[in-house]
Amino acid sequence: MLFTTYIPTRILFGAGQLAHLHEQKLPGRKALIVISAGKSVHATGALPRLEAELKTAGVASVVFAGIQPNPTKSSIMAGAARARAEGCDFVVGLGGGSSIDAAKAIALMAANPGDYWDYIASGSGKGLPIPHKPLPIVAITTTAGTGTEADPWTVVTKEDTNEKIGFGTDDTFPVLSVVDPELMRSIPAHLTAFQGFDALFHSTEGYFAKCATPVSDLFALKAIELIGQHLPTAVAEGGNLAAREGVALANTLAGLVESTSSCTSEHSLEHALSGHHPTLPHGAGLIMLSLAYYRHFAATGACDSRLIAMARALGRTEADKPLDFVEALADLQRRCGVAELKMSDYGITRAKIPQYIANARATMGGLFAVDPAPLSDADCAAILEESYR
Ligand SMILES: [Zn+2]
């Protein structure tokens, strides 16, 4: 048994924790606060509260509000230029995965020369070494989906080439993360479901990946169990704090899975879809692919005991065959109102399936290497065809 675990993030978890931010040791004197371009961050009221917390702690701040749902390379470069111009010495991501991922990439580029894609190690990225340590990162999450507050990963899209690539180093872990479920009560039902399923798939992929470890297994099974218990209630009753807490905990644990194991090719295939069709929410893309994807691996016989354990964690205590997980997943999708999503609604076409597969291999090809069994291009095509509606 050989494994390494490294998670250098202090996590403040629980309802009301945002009010304790000023008591923490903050990593600088002037923060660039990164938020989305949309209205959702204002619905939580979190921005003025964050600014007041920083002020109480004697920290100055400026706001950069230019981040789209799938953050683009140009917005990262603009944010980094702003951080340099304002003399910021750390970056705070406030919002969902997009804002926090963007904060990480901005922190990297505020401290380093050239273009973000110079450092990206796959696709058309140059894979150059990073000369300087990124600025320190603080993450304040207002959604429960990406787990980015507990991992080093940032996903950015290069608009002109439709490349949506995950990247990160030991220095892009947040130094401090606040996970306050009170901030999550205003998330609309459909986004709660999309984000919750993203957290679920970080856990299921990380649990059946070939690189899973005894540590990631603990986080993954608990996260899957919490999603099964709490996601339908969080979707149906957004104001239910106990349900929001359960899903928030699942999401943070799922982030720890991403820090100790890895996502698999389900994420590569999804990034190809939302890389080409940026209006497709990441979680929705995963949901659309998931039944065919896990059915494929159930048929390989390569991960039977893992799929059975995941079915049991989702609440099927009598599960004794791999397809029980696919049934439990389909059932959870029905209970969360996301069983009828259609790829065609987002502009995805059957004719482009070979293009999506080539993109998945070129941009996120590394994840195929940790799949529980080899996945050929023909297998990928069959999964996409079966998922297409
Ligand atoms: Zn994801």
Q: What is the pLDDT of residues 185-199, one digit of tens each?
A: 999 999 999 999 999
122 CA to centre of ligand 1 in angstroms: 18
Report yes or no: 117 and 158 within 8 Å, Cβ to Cβ.
yes
Ligand 1 centre to CA of 317 (Å) is 26
> From the CA of 8, how far away is ligand 1's center (Å)?
21
Cα of 142 to ligand 1 centre, how many Å?
16
Confidence label for 2 from pLDDT (cuts 50, 70 and 90): confident
Q: Distance between CA 310 and CA 325 in Å, rounded?
A: 6
What does the alpha-carbon distance between residue 201 and residue 314 come to, in Å, rounded to a whole number? 12
Separation of CA 30 and ligand 1 centre (Å): 31
Tell me how far the alpha carbon of residue 256 lies from the centroid of ligand 1, in angstroms: 13
Provide the pLDDT for residue 43.
80
Listed residues: CB within 5 A of ion ligand 1? 198
| Cα(361)–Cα(149) distance, integer angstroms | 27
Residue 53 CA, ligand 1 centroid: distance in Å: 30
CA dist., res. 276 & res. 347, Å (int): 9
Percent of the chain with pLDDT over 70: 100
pLDDT of residue 39: 78
* 166 CA to centre of ligand 1 in angstroms: 10
Confirm if 263 and 205 have CB atoms less than 8 A apart: yes
User: How high is the pLDDT of residue 331?
Assistant: 98
3-state secondary structure the chain: CCCCCCCCCEEEECCCHHHHHHHCCCCCCEEEEEEECCCHHHHCCHHHHHHHHHHHCCCEEEEEEEECCCCEHHHHHHHHHHHHHHCCCEEEEEECHHHHHHHHHHHHHHCCCCCHHHCCCCCCCCCCCCCCCCCCEEEEECCCCCCHHHCCCEEEEEHHHCEEEEECCHHHCCCEEEECHHHHCCCCHHHHHHHHHHHHHHHHHHHHCCCCCHHHHHHHHHHHHHHHHHHHHHHHCCCCHHHHHHHHHHHHHHHHHHHHCCCCHHHHHHHHHHHHCCCCCHHHHHHHHHHHHHHHHHHHCCCHHHHHHHHHHCCCCCCCCCHHHHHHHHHHHHHCCCCCCCHHHHCCCHHHHHHHHHHHHHHHHHHHHHCCCCCCHHHHHHHHHHHCC
Q: Ligand 1 center to residue 58 CA distance, Å?
A: 35
The pLDDT, as a whole number, for residue 176 is 98
CATH code: domain 187-387 is: 1.20.1090.10
* Cα gap 171→151, rounded to integer Å: 10
Ligand 1 centroid–CA 199 distance in Å is: 7
* Per-residue confidence (pLDDT) for residue 1, from 0 to 100: 79
Is residue 70 over pLDDT 90? no
What's the confidence (pLDDT) of residue 122? Answer: 93
* Ligand 1 midpoint to CA 267 (Å): 6
Q: What is the pLDDT of residue 40?
A: 74
Mean pLDDT of 198-215: 97
Interval between CA 282 and ligand 1 midpoint (Å): 7
Domain boundary assignment for the chain: 10-183, 187-387
Average pLDDT, the chain: 96
Q: Report the CATH number of the 10-183 domain.
A: 3.40.50.1970
Segment 129-137 shows an average pLDDT of: 98
Asked whether residue 44 carries a pLDDT value surpassing 90, the answer given is no
Q: Which of 40, 44, 47, 45 is nearest to 63 (CA)?
A: 47
Distance 146 CA to ligand 1 centre (A): 6
Q: What is the Å distance from ligand 1's center to 378 Cα?
A: 24
| pLDDT above 90 coverage of the chain, percent | 95
Residues with Cβ within 8 Å of 268's Cβ and at least 6 positions away in sequence, in order, are 360, 361, 363, 364, 365, 367, 368
Model confidence pLDDT, tens digit, residues 352-388? 999 999 999 999 999 999 999 999 999 999 999 999 9
pLDDT of residue 38: 80
Give the Å distance between the CA of 269 and the centre of ligand 1. Answer: 11
Centre of ligand 1 to C-alpha 195, Å, is 8
The residue-averaged pLDDT of 217-233 equals: 98
pLDDT, position 69: 81
**Ligand 1 center to 198 CA (angstroms):** 5
Q: What's the gap in Å between 224 CA and the centre of ligand 1?
A: 14
pLDDT bin (cut points 50, 70, 90) of residue 66 is: confident
Nearest Cα to Cα of residue 150 among 220, 208, 213: 220
Q: Distance from the CA of 286 to the center of ligand 1, in angstroms?
A: 8
Average pLDDT over residues 114-126: 97
Ligand 1 centroid–CA 203 distance in Å is 10
Confidence of residue 174 (pLDDT cuts 50, 70, 90): very high
Confidence check: pLDDT of 41 > 80: no
Q: Cα of 266 to ligand 1 centre, how many Å?
A: 9
What's the confidence (pLDDT) of residue 9?
Answer: 97
Mean pLDDT of 197-205: 98
- Average of per-residue pLDDT across 28-53: 91
Residue-wise pLDDT for 15-38, tens only, equals: 999 999 999 999 999 999 999 988
CA distance 17 to 180: 6
Q: For residue 227, how far is its CA from the centre of ligand 1 (angstroms)?
A: 15
